[in-house]
Structure 1
Amino acid sequence: MSVWRVILSVLFPPLAVYDRGCGSILIVLLLTLLGWIPGVIAALIILNRPKYN
């Protein structure tokens, strides 16, 4: 997880998880709309997981 991804996940969480798939973007977007902090936490958790192709 790069520093730029962490900064991006704090500023705009759905954009930080764009390469993790449509489901991740939708989950983070929904949580961000419900509240900024849940969206940031979800984005950081998704970014911390290993990426499977």
Structure 2
Amino acid sequence: MALTCGDIFKFIAAVFLPPLGVFLELGCGRDLVINILLTILGFIPGVIHAFYIICKW
């Protein structure tokens, strides 16, 4: 899917708080829980997962 101008805000949010970027993209769900767990385990895996979700959807 092509990236839009609205995705810029999601990427910025994902850098500072990765679960927020996932929430803005998909809302509450399984991917948000996965991202919260990844962010707790290590900040960088949470950011990578958030970027993946934003680019994928």
The interval holding the TM-score normalised by the smaller chain is 0.7 to 0.9
| Aligned counterpart, 2:16 | 11
Give 1:3 deviation, angstroms. 1.0
Name the TM-score, length of structure 2 as normaliser.
0.79
Deviations 1:13-45 (A, max 9, x none): 001111414101001000000000000000000
Letter in 2 for 1:37: I
Q: Quick check: 1:49 aligned with 2:56?
A: yes
Runs of 4+ with >2 A deviation: none
Question: Which stretches in structure 1 are left out of the alignment for 5+ residues?
Answer: none
Question: Which stretches in structure 2 are left out of the alignment for 5+ residues?
Answer: none
CA distance in 2 between partners of 1:30 and 1:49 (Å):
20
Name the TM-score, length of structure 1 as normaliser.
0.84
Which protein has greater RCO, CA pairs closer than 8 Å, 6+ apart? 2
